[in-house]
Amino acid sequence: MTATRTSQRLTRPYLVASTLTFFLAVVAAGVGLFVPGFYRDAEVLLPQLYGQDLLTLVVAVPVLAGALYYGSQGSLRGYVVWLGVTGYLFYTYASYALLTSFNELYLVYVALFSLTLFTLIGGVARIDPIDLKEALDGHPVRGYVAFQALVAGFVALMWLAEVGPASLSGTRPPSIAETTLPVPVIQSLDLGVVIPSFAISAVLLWKQRAWGYVFTGVLLVKGTTLGLAVLAMIVFMLQNGQPVPLPQIVIFAILSITGLVLTTRFIRAIPSSASTGHPHAETETRAD
């Protein structure tokens, strides 16, 4: 009797697309961070852009390189991390393509937005959620459920407290009051995409649905990386003399550290030899 065993391996199209993403992200973040006066945005936005660029260059890009290497070797751990960091880069360059004032790297931002969008969709479509759930069989999930629900609730309350009163009064939200932005782009992305994603993932994982494990892995990596980026933004904002409420700093620090711990725990819980059974993965046949 023969059985088919498959390994989740990043295939050539994804390796090429993500390698291109790697180099373009290095260029985009490096130019933004090290070329003086490159950004033409409002002064209030510059520390946020610098913080994002720093985190992308120092954390996201190296993690992407490592994930590509291990993912190309068939590592399920590497594949999940690759999905998560791709999600972070998608969110980052979606915001750059829509938020930053037009500059010489506009087409690079659009290329990164497109590359990460389609590799993320394709990467999620290729993974077999049942195999990831089985790889994590017996691993407790309550902490991940609580964390995702907490992030969804906190971010929703934070943004609704800002845009809600502005919507009712017909005024501009404080975060864009000193800019020329027509709408708060980050709030739009968070309220429309990020918050529902965390909420749905928490519900699916609580019910121990297979896709809940996939979404949790992706969102833990993406969310933690973004949380660290927010801390980097806060550092630049403080250096620029912009006031940041202490409670906000403490909350983001706690969420980022907790996310980092949970992400490490989740990824390490995936057996290093775990394999998946998706029909699009590479196959090998053995005799029983």
Section 62-76 average pLDDT: 95
**Using H for helix, E for strand and C for coil, what is the string for 153-193?**
HHHHHHHHHHHHHHHHHCCCCHHHCCCCCCCCHHHHHHHHH
CB atoms within 10 A of CB 238: 13
Count CA atoms closer than 13 A to 97's CA, side-chain side.
Answer: 19
Contact between 44 and 181 (Cβ < 8 Å): no
Distances in whole angstroms, Cα of residue 112 to Cα of each of 30, 128, 160: 14, 26, 29
Half-sphere exposure of 55 (CA within 13 A, CB side): 26
Q: Give the containing element (helix H, strand E) for 5.
A: strand 2-7
Does position 286 have pLDDT exceeding 50, yes or no?
no
**H/E run at residue 121:** helix 106-126
**Local confidence band at 248 (pLDDT 50, 70, 90 cut-offs):** confident
Of 1-5, 66-70, 231-235, least confident by mean pLDDT is: 1-5
Share of the chain above pLDDT 70, in %: 92
**CB proximity list for 75: less than 8 A, separation 6 or greater:** 8, 272
| Helix extents (H) in 73-105 | 76-99
Both tokens of residue 179? Answer: 């800019």
Strand partners of residue 2: 287
- pTM attached to this predicted model: 0.89
- Tell which residue, 101, 91, 97, has the closest CA to residue 46: 101
* pLDDT value of residue 273: 63
Residue 138: its pLDDT value, please? Answer: 87
* DSSP type of residue 35: S
**How confident is the model at residue 177, as a pLDDT?**
86
Q: How confident is the model at residue 101 (pLDDT cuts 50, 70, 90)?
A: very high
- In this structure, are residues 272 and 75 in contact, taking their beta carbons and an 8 Å threshold? yes
Does position 278 have pLDDT exceeding 50, yes or no? no
The predicted pLDDT at position 3 comes to 36
Please give the pLDDT value at position 117: 97
Element (H, E) at 3: strand 2-7
Mean pLDDT of 61-76: 95
Query: Residue 157: CA atoms inside 13 Å, Cβ hemisphere, count?
Result: 7
Task: Give the 3-state secondary structure of residue 258.
Answer: helix
Asked if pLDDT for residue 77 goes beyond 60, the answer is yes
Furthest-apart CA pair in the chain: how many Å?
Answer: 71
Q: Residue range 8-13: average pLDDT?
A: 87
pLDDT attached to residue 180: 84
Q: Please say if the pLDDT value at position 22 is more than 90.
A: yes
Provide the 3-class DSSP secondary structure of residue 172: coil
pLDDT at 275 (0 to 100): 44
Q: What is the spatial distance between Cα 191 and Cα 39, in angstroms, rounded to a whole number? A: 26
Question: pLDDT confidence of 283, banded at 50, 70, 90?
Answer: very low
